Structures are given as structure tokens and as C-alpha cells.
Structure 1
Amino acid sequence: MDLFESELRVVTAAQELAESLGSDPNHTVAAAAMDTAGRIHTAVNVHHFTGGPCAELVVLGVAAAAQAGPLLTIAAAGDGGRGPIPPCGRCRQVLIDLHPDVMVAVPGGNGPQLRPIRKLLPDTYVHPDAHARRLLRFNKRYYEAVADGTKTTTIRHDDPVAVGSALFVFEDDQDHRTLDGEITRIERYRLDAVTAEQAGLAADTTIEQLRAGLRGHYPGLPDDAEIDVVTFALTPEPGPHHVP
């Protein structure tokens, strides 16, 4: 799948910084990360015999210093024209603990590809006290429907989400709009058994249309695939405080 323009910006930022490093043996890898406001943060590694930090870890600190919040996308690139490089095991563990919904750029046969961090570290231990803010991603065309409360369900396959607070983000949205929300319920069904009512479909959408749409989004999705129907709501804005 081709990268969104915003995701390409992250990969390009990492590569351009890596190309500027020259021959300095202490700084050989660059990283770039994009936050939910569309800002791109960059950093380089600090190579040292005591175990200097990787560029991905340094950029997490840079982003935190800028109060970036949860990160959407991260990429690293090596100097000397090495191009995009995948994160090491330690970086993968840190990313899944602190930014469990981040997409990570890795080399692919036709250029960089994005992978969810959980796909790069399956069956992992998760640090229970990380307190990472979760993200729920939507296609940008759904912003208005989510914002006005028309859309309150979404269907996911092999895309773990959890009940609780989440920041709703809209992929490749030029204005980088986000909404505060709550995932209230997750129900699992088989694709060939779910009903329109269980899926929370609008009156003008049939279950056949839903299945066709899911197969378009998840190529090769089998009939017996398990899907999650995720119900969500916006977080109400606090009302005025009245002092008695």
C-alpha cells in the first residue's frame, strides 16, 4: 500500500537528515516522528561504547520535550545512503510501551512500507505502567460524521483496540484534526455471520456492502475472519462551572 503524503514527509525528513551527517562516526542514524498535530520532530543517534541511544529513542525525547503527545508515524534512516532502516529490538519494545499505535517505516521491496509497531514485536511483554494514550484511526472522509455523532461504530480486523479513552485521528488530514473520545464497547463476530444490526449499519447500507468494503480494505479477508465492531463516543466538553 502506498504511503500517505504525510507519512512520506516523515520518511523524507529522516533520510534528508541522515544524508547530512557526513562521516561523523558518533552520529550515523537519523530519525523523524510525526505527532497528531502534523509536526515532524527529528533527531540523531549518539553512538558510544557505553550504549548510546538509538536515533528513535532520541527523537522520542525530542518530541516529548515539545509536548508532542502520542506519535502517529516514525522512521529512521542510515547515513552513507543506506536509506530507511528498521528499529532494533530495544527500540521496538520502547515504542510499543510508549506509543502503542505508532506506524513504523521499514524497508520494502518497492520502497518504504509502514507497519504497526505491534506487527514488529508480536507476543510482546507490555509495560503496565507506561500510561500511553491510545489512538483510534479513521479515514479522513469520516471526520464530519464522527464529529457530529452520526458515526458511532467502526469495524476492524486484526487491529487491536481497547475500551477506554482514545484520541481519534484522521489519516492524512491536511488540517490534522483530532477528537477526544471514548471506546465504549468491542464485540467480536465472524464476517460471514455478523448481521447488519450487530455491525451498527446505517439503514441505507447492506451487510453485503459492508463485506465488500471490508475486503477492499483488507485484501484476501476470508469468510470466517473475525471482525471487531467498535462502538465509540465523543468525550463531552466540560460545561461551565457554577459556584454556589
Structure 2
Amino acid sequence: MAADYRMFAGVNLYHFTGGPCAELVALGAARAQGARQMRCIVAVGNHGRGVIGPCGRDRQVFVDHYPTMRVIVPTPAGLRSVLAADLMPLAQRWTPEAGMNGLDPSLYRDPEAAGPPIIRFNPRYLEAVRSGVKTKTTRFRDPAQLGPARLVFESDPEVVLPAEVTGIRHCLVSDLTDQDAQAEGLTTAARLREVLQGHYPDLVGTDGVDVITFRINHKTGA
């Protein structure tokens, strides 16, 4: 919502290479229509996920461009409205006028380049992975590679488990098996396809996916 109470919406078009989150799409749409001051913003997930908090990149953009904007976020006590600036305590500021002047480049290293490849997970899978109930993950347009990996659970703070990718099998969604589902802590292939549909709304039975087998490296952490 802009300062003049106009409403703008945005949708995230998923792609494994990244891309703008829905919040940034909405802010871009607002700016394109002349709204330069924002009053508040909220993101809502599909498939009944409800209100979701902004990612780290979005928070930095909020702080740099709209530090006084209110952001609606979920908390254990329910929804809460907070100042954008409060989402990034002690953050360094970027401004269109000053650019990167005065910023310490060492604070902006790419985490993807600092170690083994990252495989990202919803935090609800953490205990299943830690306990060994979940030893596979099925990915759509999200390639992995054999060898050392970091399993990153996008909680606050993030949890990182060192792991080893021991197998990658490419197959059609329709060819997923009950054994694949059971290695993900589910019961049947039908249930696995249902869960995948929640993660990848555009997924159909003729799409190819990668079934990634991994194990936690208990010697180096976790």
C-alpha cells in the first residue's frame, strides 16, 4: 500500500536461478505508477500458507528504500506490524545517491561461493532430515551435484547441516515411486506428488524432476 492508499500487487514467478520475490515485484509496479512512498507491505503464500515474512534480500531493499514502511510479519503470537528498519538491526545502508560508497565489501560475500553447494529446505523438514527419516529430496528445475553439500533450512536463524549427495536420479513426476515417497518421510507416491505440487504449483506429471539422495555428515557438524 502506497502512502496515498493506492494498492499494488505482485507475484513471484518461480525459477531455480532466482528472480524477484513478490514483494519486489509489487514495489516495482508501485514505482512504475508513480508511487514513491510506501505505507505498508505484506506477502501471502499460496496453497493456504498464509502470511510469510520477507527474505533477507527483500529486507535490505525495504531498509534502503522504505525504512519507515510497515511490514506485516508472522510471529508465534500472531501477525505483527513492524518498521522495515527494525527488520535489519545494525544494517549498512545503500542509497541511490551514495551507491556503495562507505560499505565494506567483505560483508557482502556470496554465501553460495563460500563452500560446498547449497540445497535449501523449508524448516519444517529439519527434524525429519536430522533424524534420518528424510534421506531424499525431489527437485524441479533446481539442479544439484554429487559430493559435499550444505543443507540450509530457511528458519530464523538459518540452520546448516553438512551433507553428502550420494545419488541423483532423473525421472518424470508420474514415475515417482512409493519408495521415493517413503525416503522423504511420506507414505505413497501420490502423496509425494501432492506435496511437490505445493512447492511447484506449475508442476505436471510429464515434467522431469531430480530425486536427490543425501546423507548427513555427522563428523563435521550437526
TM-score of the superposition, structure 2-length normalised?
A: 0.55
Cα distance in 2, alignment partners of residues 238 and 19 from structure 1: 41
Partners of 2:146 and 2:89 lie apart in 1 by: 28
Aligned partners of 2:62 and 2:125: how far apart in 1?
Answer: 32
Counterpart of 1:113 in structure 2 is none
Q: From the superposition, tell whether residues 166 and 40 of structure 1 become closer, same or farther in structure 2 (CA, over 3 Å).
A: farther
- Match of 2:156, SS state, is coil
CA contact (8 A) 2:168 2:210 kept: yes
Corresponding residue of 1:73: none
Helix, strand or coil: the match of 1:147? Answer: helix
CA change 1:188–1:42 in 2 (3 A) is farther
Cα contact 2:128–2:134 (8 A) shared by 1: yes
1:5 aligns to what? 53
AA aligned opposite 1:5: G
Q: 1:46 to 1:13 in 2, by over 3 A?
A: closer
Q: Map 1:50-89 to 2 at 5 A.
A: 55=100, 61-64=106-109, 70=111
Cα separation, 2, equivalents of 1:238 and 1:16: 36
1:129-165, Cα deviation, whole Å (9 max, x unpaired): x675311111111111111222111111111111121
Hey, what's the Cα distance between the residues in 1 that align with 2:149 and 2:89? 20
Which AA in structure 2 matches 1:159?
D
Maintained 8 Å contact 2:180/2:189:
no
C-alpha distance 213-19 of structure 1, shift in aligned 2 (>3 A)? closer
Inter-partner Cα distance in structure 1 for 2:186 and 2:66: 52
Does the 8 A contact of 1:156 with 1:229 survive in 2? yes
- Residue-by-residue CA offset, 1:33-61 (whole Å, 9 max, x unaligned): xxxxx99864537989xxxxx75xx6753
Distance change in 2, residues 1:151/1:211 (3 Å)? same
Letter matched to residue 17 of structure 1: D
- For 1:180, the equivalent position in structure 2 comes to 162
Q: Is the counterpart of residue 227 in structure 1 residue 209 in structure 2?
A: yes
CA distance in 1, matches of 2:149, 2:65: 33
Q: Please, which of 61, 64, 67 is the counterpart of residue 17 of structure 1?
A: 64
Q: Give the counterpart of 2:125 among 142, 155, 161.
A: 142
Counterpart mapping for 1:1-244 below 5 A:
2=43, 4-7=52-55, 10-18=57-65, 42=92, 44=94, 55=100, 61-64=106-109, 70=111, 99=112, 133-171=116-154, 173-198=155-180, 200-201=182-183, 205-237=187-219
Q: Percent identity?
A: 28
SS at match of 2:174: coil
Amino acid across the alignment from 1:143 = L
**Deviations 1:184-207 (Å, cap 9, x if unpaired)?**
111001111222235554686111
